[in-house]
A and B are shown apart, each in its own frame.
Chain A
């Protein structure tokens, strides 16, 4: 092209230098670890890999991870929808305080998230005596793991929906109500179609974190092998027992989950033209 030199961009040399260094950082820093997971997983061959994934402890860890996500994600999705509806469709006193409180778990270390719940449901916690009187076990068992995971993944769906619903305003909902639609009809036929991609995106991020959560679950699970180990905890146990290949085999499953999440996320962005969302 013989158009005049573009004054708002850099010379070719500078461009190449910048692109080269940015890509080098991304490859060395982010892509290399991903390759390393799979290389390490297959270091001792496919048989060791398969054995690591099919042994009973690994199977029960996979099962527990799936159960945890299956409870956590729907609960936080319903909350995300309710919270986003509340803060974007209405103006009320304390609204900005509520917005900060929804973000609060992002500023709390996962280890502290596990600790605060131990102080409530642990044997020496608030509810400890009452729970043991009624033969209920929450800490060191599946319910505790689920609750700690809910704490950590609490803001994900709400965080995705709030900015989206804020920009969409309330005009369409008001029109629907004026035309005689009931509350649920407004939500199902007006709001939901508008936010479906953002919702899916939030659910995806929430699920990835729920399946991969480590710190909070580590505190509250009690590390009982074959009973309260989720997949990330199983990775830790194997790694600390110097069963490196088995640890990386389990880790590669979680890495596949991450790749799947990224792939779906990119797909959603392309379909919905949804860009620039801040994930956590």
Chain B
């Protein structure tokens, strides 16, 4: 680097940033991977293929993906309404979107449990609806079993409860990622499309949607990444039943309570590796998408 730096403070800020980052984040993460690497390959396989872990991983990744997907859809609706329309109370609704960021997760957890259990404000209707469907149109199989479960317990203490909590946590990520992009969307392409005779729905599908898709994917990714690691808002509503409603983070806690640090480290390391790999893949997909629409 030949050009002399005019602005002072490069050395100081570089040294401070790297030191603080290393001490707080990097060295402890290294401790985790070292701990996990001391466990032999056979034990890794044994831990990662245990029934309890496979069930928890399916629930954690599955519910997170579904919740992030529905968050994307609802987030798009909310962002659209907040950006494009003017109506009374708009600013208030806009402020409310951030609530899941600001509300401590444990508070969200116990409150959602209270609302969605079979006696709760919303849970009682879910239980009734599930009961009615079960008696009149029992689809049988997995869904039939679930309907029976919801009819009895409402949405709490079931995988549906996990899904609802993750939806709550994920929604603002999508809205807040989409909003700035939608605000900057130029009106003239839409006008041009309309002049060429395109219907409103066609304009949305062919003009607007492709422009906001990268932001939508970013929002999905943020919601998904947060959901996979989420603990506080999930454990109360899930009820933590092994093999049924136990998520990966609570499985890690269960290992720690039995002082099985190695097992906990292996699960955590595997979780981080899978999360990073997924984030990397989504990032790659997005780059290709950006490149194509450019």
Contacts and interface: CB of A to CB of B under 8 A. Distances in A.
Interface string B22-57: 001111110110010000000000000000000000
B276 A107 contact: yes
Contacts of B102: 205, 208, 212, 257-259, 261-262, 265
Chain A residues touching B, range: 35 or more
Interface string B153-188: 000000000000001100111001101100100010
Given A30-B96, A111-B229, A120-B28, A21 B77 contact: yes
Contact of B28 (A10, A119, A263, A276): A119
Interface string A140-157: 000000010011001000
B106 A236 contact: yes
B187 A8 contact: yes
A214 interface: yes
A147 B256 CA distance: 18
B288 interface: no
B104 A232 contact: yes
Contacts of B6: 174, 177-178
B17 A214 contact: no
Nearest to A65: B104
A235 to B, nearest CB: 5
Given A29-B168, A110-B231, A120-B31, A37 B268 contact: no
Interface string B1-32: 10001111110111011001100111111011
Interface in A22-48: 22-23, 25-26, 28-34, 36-37, 40
Interface residues of B, number: 96
Interface of B: 1, 5-10, 12-14, 16-17, 20-21, 24-29, 31-32, 35, 74, 77-78, 80-82, 84-85, 87, 89, 91, 93, 95-108, 110-112, 114-115, 121-122, 167-168, 171-173, 176-177, 179-180, 183, 187, 190-191, 194-195, 200, 222, 225-226, 228-232, 236, 248-250, 252-253, 256, 261, 264-265, 268, 271-272, 275-276, 279
Interface of A: 7-10, 14-15, 18-19, 21-23, 25-26, 28-34, 36-37, 40, 79, 82-83, 85-86, 89-90, 92, 98, 101-102, 104-112, 115-120, 122, 124-126, 147, 150-151, 154, 170, 173-174, 177-178, 182-183, 186-187, 205, 208, 211-215, 218-219, 231-233, 235-236, 239, 244, 247-248, 251, 254-255, 257-259, 261-263, 265-266, 275-280
